[in-house]
Amino acid sequence: MLNLTPVLRTSPLHAGAHRVRCAERGKKARRLRYMAPLRSLRIQNVRHLEDLTLTGLGEINLLFGTNDSGKSSILEAIAIWCDPLNPDNWKQVARYRSTWPFYERSSTLSDLESISWLFRCTPQQQHLPITLSGEGTAPFLSLSAEIEISEVIPEQVGEESDMTSKKRIFGRREDQPQLMMDLTVQGERSDSDYHLFPKPPVHQTLRYWEYPLRSILLRRRTGGEKSILCKVVNNLSHRSENLLKSQFSDVIRSNYKDSVLEALRILDPNIEELAILTPQEDLSEMAHLRALRGDASLQIRYKETGFLPLSSFGDGLRRILHIAFQLPKLRGGVLLIDEIEVSIHASKLGMFFDWLAKNCQTFQIQLFATTHSLEAIDAILGEKGERAESITAFRLQQGTAKRFSGEQLKRLRLDRGLEVRGT
């Protein structure tokens, strides 16, 4: 029988071009499947931000401006938007400007006071309601939050009074009045959250007391709403070694340590290994006792000297390590970095930003980074603007946000040498 099946003959050049086109289509399809958690966000009455809108958000977003232009406040608003019904999230956002919000206990402000200062105040009115609205993967179209502070006796509002030991810590009796704050969150659900039967609007009240230990009674999460994974990295949190040790397990489970070492070698190519080790038994009797007790420290193996404790290295390495440790547990979420240039020299910042952008894309993480440094902006763009294509930039000035594409920022900064931060 005669075989009439046509035979397609292509040259090696055409075959190579075909493979390239297929690879590009594959990359485009993967980009289309990934939807950034935030495409736009309107922020009202967070800290001193009266009404600010961010539109056309990208996967990598750079926020820049002068001091007190609202960069950190935007990060706080994003963190609230990602998980607004979690009572612990409000406390962590309110305290994130402290050294490390999960462990900070030296602040003179209570949880109640810290949260209340998230709400903008004017001479005419204290604590204006926070309003957030946006587009993305959040289950909400809009949210509003307002607080009401009153002085009450806990027993009169039905609070449990089984905290005898804690009452003595505060030196107060349960029948004495103290401040109570009700934070009411209301919102409209997005269309994507509707099923066969529409769900009712969001309405939840979170309660905080004047004394932090009493707030433990209300840490139990309610509402059952899904949230967007989110992490804020401030300019001091990398100094907590206990925090870094607690995150190292996620790195190991994710088979991510080689990538972390790659980031560390940007600062020093002589770094070979990263591990948690107990003290050497031959150092002292005290070290032996700590080893038996299970105490351990995060250590880095250096090419010439062997293992050294993390405390032997500078802030730049700790900073990169802390940022790198966030990524495995944030897949599909949002990473917020305040003052990305802190502790990292400008000559290394561009290479680290390359690494960070590549790994954020791997884990499908949307990145927001702030800076007020022209040197940092130049380093992130690259000497010839080679990183501009991946960046969406916003200049913050006088309560407004001006959007620039990466190419626009490159032309303004590198080609024309203009001051882009505003005045």
User: pTM higher than 0.85, yes or no?
Assistant: no
Q: At what angle do helices 374-381 and 346-362 cross, to 10 degrees?
A: 60
- Residue closest to 366 by CA, chosen among 115, 61, 76: 61
Distances (CA, A) of 223 to 83, 84, 275, 358: 11, 11, 39, 35
393 and 413 in contact (C-beta within 8 Å)?
no
Which residue bears the tokens 């949210």? 143
- Whether the Cβ atoms of residue 109 and residue 159 lie closer than 8 Å to each other: no
Task: Please give the Cα distance from 385 to 410 (Å, whole number).
Answer: 6
Mean pLDDT of 66-78: 92
232-415: CATH topology is: Rossmann fold (3.40.50)
Q: What gap in Å lies between CA 81 and CA 414, rounded to an integer?
A: 35
pLDDT tens per residue, range 289-309: 444 445 678 889 988 888 988
Quick: pLDDT tens for 15-28: 555 554 555 554 44
pLDDT in tens, 226-254: 789 999 998 887 877 777 888 888 888 88
Please state the domain extents for the chain: 84-222, 232-415
Q: List, in sequence order, every residue forming a beta bridge with 394; answer none if it has no partner.
A: 63, 403
Cβ 39 vs Cβ 135: under 8 Å? yes
- 8 A C-beta contact, residue 350 and residue 340: no
DSSP letter for 80, please: H
